[in-house]
Chains A and B, each alone.
Chain A
Amino acid sequence: MDCSDAQLHLLDYQRGRLAADLRGEIRAHLEGCPACRDEELAERELTTLLDRRPRYPASADLKRRLAAEWASAPAAPPRASWRRWATSLAPALATAAVFLIATSLYYGQQRAADEVAGLVGEAVNDHLRVLSGRRPLEVESGAIHQVKPWFQGRLDFAPVVPFAGDEAFPLQGGAIEYFLDRQAAVFVYKRRLHTASLFVFRAEGLPWPDRGLEPLGSVPAYRTTARGFHVVLWRAGELGYALVSDVEASELRELASRIAAG
Chain B
Amino acid sequence: MAQVETIPVRAARYSEGVLPAESSGPQAALGREALVHADSLHSLARYLTGNAADAEDLVQETYARALRGADQFAPGTNLRAWLFRILRNTFVSAYRRRRNSPIVGGLDTVTPSIHASSEDAWLRGDAELDQLRGLVAGEIEAALMALGEEARMVILLDLEGLTEVEVAHVVGCAVGTVKSRLSRARAALRQRLRDYAT
* Chain A residues proximal to chain B, CB less than 8 Å: 3-4, 7-8, 11-12, 17, 35-36, 38-39, 41-43, 45-47, 49-59, 62-73, 75-79, 107, 110-111, 114-115, 117-118, 121-122, 125, 129, 132, 134-135, 178, 180-181, 205, 207, 226-227
Q: How many A-B residue pairs have CB under 8 A?
A: 178
Q: Report whether B63 and A69 are in contact in the complex, using a CB–CB cutoff of 8 Å.
A: yes
Are B16 and A68 closer than 8 Å at their CB atoms? Answer: yes
Known contacts A46-B186, A227-B76, A3 near B114 by CB under 8 Å: yes
A87 to B47, CA, bound (A): 48
Q: Are A71 and B29 CB-contacts (below 8 A) given A7-B114, A41-B123?
A: no
Contacts of A178 in B (CB 8 A): 36
Cβ-defined partner of B27 (8 Å) among A49, A51, A64, A73: A73
Q: Are B19 and A49 in contact, CB atoms less than 8 angstroms apart?
A: no
Q: Is B4 an interface residue (CB 8 A)?
A: no
* Minimum CB distance partner of B115 in chain A: A35
* Contact between chains at A72 and B123 (CB < 8 Å): no
Q: Is the CB of A64 within 8 A of B34?
A: no
Is A70 within 8 A of B31, CB to CB?
Answer: yes
B179 adjacent to A39 (CB under 8 Å): no
Provided the pairs A46-B189, A52-B137 are in contact, do residues A76 and B16 lie with their beta carbons within 8 angstroms? no
The 10 A-B residue pairs with the shortest CB-CB distance, nearest first, are A70-B31, A58-B42, A56-B46, A57-B39, A134-B161, A68-B14, A58-B38, A114-B29, A71-B18, A35-B115
CB-based nearest B residue for A74: B27
Given the complex of chains A and B, what is the CA–CA distance between A129 and B38 in angstroms? 19
Are A42 and B122 in contact, CB atoms less than 8 angstroms apart?
Answer: yes
Does B182 lie at the interface of the complex (its beta carbon under 8 Å from any beta carbon of A)?
yes
Q: Are A68 and B75 in contact (CB under 8 A)?
A: no
7 contacts between A and B (CB under 8 A): A36-B115, A45-B123, A50-B144, A62-B60, A68-B15, A70-B27, A118-B32
